Structure 1
């Protein structure tokens, strides 16, 4: 005797006396459908040997079950923390999506382009975006909010914001990096920041200030310079810092990639790291560990951050719940300090 079969979602909907969208959500284990209805529909599907057609389901639900990972297009002309950090974060997002049945599409954008979101969303290629850019991001955030496009940001939430975020505890990161350098006897501790107007950089500088104030030290403006997270800016900013403060004996750098540039310049001046100048970086990228001179740094849990970016965006798409997560950071001591 042949097993009973049904051909379409409409058939299941008719048998269960519910809408097509309810069937689609139930078969996809959506929390929007109550457990009793979900189990009843899934039981009917099993009874009639129904296998949902994924492309048809996505079309009828206007869902692609794909997220777009947004980052700046990489020209290969500059070695930046954004490129390196983004690659490691991409791995965490991918790992978070795998068990949830979602795919990931990399969306390279130009810094001043605001048309890309329409192109991807209107074509049905993605259901939402993971936004990881660190510079010139406010305009992009405003565009996505105004268009009502689901997204999650790697960065800090804004007052009364309606979008999801995951970020690291940058104030604590700046504080514990500077406190460590103070404890190890360093007297003139520089701050080598990323872009001055970025909130993450401001928070890291605030942590640096707190540590100096708590130690009863004067905040010297000549000890503070800014770059753009790139390896090149690490070199040029370190040069400026030493010109302003030749007796510098330590520096807290806002990214591991910039720290590599700073170390390169320090050594080119005939100085030793850490004997003459101690260096603490930020992020704990792989290159900080697997380097000729492993970098003392502030570790952000990048795999966990990526996983939460994936899970919380999908939760927002399915339920509308806005989440803002602040992840702890920790000091990792290696050879540069």
Structure 2
């Protein structure tokens, strides 16, 4: 067996070239002609030499790590990491990063504390950031990007012209949900949104408004309520709406978890779903198909979104290309909206 050599300098001596030539050849740099590259690689293989990735990252000023920012809320039930939607998104991110020469670092700063994000940028522990829940940091993210131009991508509406983003077609999603309820003959359709200043919620509400206006309905503010995407707030907001607008016959909730809370509140008030009130959610988390009754919802391909977040960030790291991807949605009809014939 050939003696194992330890450094690039050893290979350079055997090949009769400089250390920089060896380094470039082992990293397939096109500046080194193919014959020289293959000769140097053959020497390295013969002597069982492998590039030390830690040293290589230091020399390139890279960490080969992507940081995933998942904010921590004050209340445990509001944590993104416990939301089935974000669990599915995380699965897509992990699948997307597998096979790439990157590690995934999960960072959980507290809401409204951008200094914790700044710390990871300043420490150079990550080459780029994937930011979930970006509406909590939207001003700070824009400022950080302008000051340092650090590679990042956000889930949801883009907070700046020079920041990559991935989102679903929220306006179309709102229109599909409300259009479906209108076709069922529903006339008093409530909207229960997440955080009211969040871009996704605003867009879904725009779809709600457009579809109602196209059908000749006026927008009734008493039919609109907001929560935080949890089943608890879906339950609470539905209770409040029923007190003030007891003739509600349709509900579009901005998340499946909220829609599940809505259905529980309706049951407690003696309303049958879907005979008395039809309910439509948003996301199509795995639980939606198995709740009672199974939930009609606007499906976005959550796992695919995670893969696209990784792909587009890596593309930015490689080529500097800024992308804003809008993923399509579709309506999935189940028993929560219409009684089977």
| Fold conserved between structures, TM > 0.5 | yes
* Range that drifts further, 132-141 or 222-231: 132-141
2:152 matched to which residue of 1?
A: 151
1:48 matched to which residue of 2?
A: 44
2:192 matched to which residue of 1?
A: 192
Larger Rg: 2
Provide Cα deviations, 1:95-154, integer angstroms capped at 9, x if missing partner. Answer: 001021222111111012122223323434321110011542313412431332211000
Which protein has greater RCO, CA pairs closer than 8 Å, 6+ apart?
1
1:58 matched to which residue of 2?
A: 57
**3-state SS of the aligned residue for 2:54?**
helix
1:328 matched to which residue of 2?
A: 328
2:220 matched to which residue of 1?
A: 220
**What is the number of equivalent residue pairs in this alignment?**
331
2:7 matched to which residue of 1?
A: 7
Alpha-carbon spacing, 1:294–1:5, altered in 2? closer, same or farther (3 Å): same
Matches of 2:9 and 2:238, distance apart in 1: 63
Whether the aligned pair in 2 keeps the contact of 1:132 and 1:153 (CA below 8 Å) is: yes
Q: Displacement of 1:197 after TM fit?
A: 1.1
* Range that drifts further, 287-296 or 194-203: 287-296
Give runs of aligned pairs for residues 26-37 of structure 1, distance below 5 A. 27=27, 34=30
Matches of 1:256 and 1:230, distance apart in 2: 9
TM norm structure 2: 0.87
2:319 matched to which residue of 1?
A: 319
Whether the aligned pair in 2 keeps the contact of 1:16 and 1:41 (CA below 8 Å) is: no
Matches of 1:173 and 1:18, distance apart in 2: 57
Q: Displacement of 1:175 after TM fit?
A: 0.3
1:235 paired to 2:235: yes
Alpha-carbon spacing, 1:156–1:58, altered in 2? closer, same or farther (3 Å): same
1:309 matched to which residue of 2?
A: 309
Whether the aligned pair in 2 keeps the contact of 1:81 and 1:229 (CA below 8 Å) is: no
1:105 matched to which residue of 2?
A: 105
Provide Cα deviations, 1:161-198, integer angstroms capped at 9, x if missing partner. Answer: 11111100000000011000111111111111111111
Matches of 1:71 and 1:153, distance apart in 2: 11
Whether the aligned pair in 2 keeps the contact of 1:114 and 1:143 (CA below 8 Å) is: no
2:68 matched to which residue of 1?
A: 69
Whether the aligned pair in 1 keeps the contact of 2:72 and 2:79 (CA below 8 Å) is: no
Cα RMSD of the aligned pairs, angstroms, is 2.8
1:23 paired to 2:19: no
TM norm structure 1: 0.88
* Range that drifts further, 297-306 or 97-106: 97-106
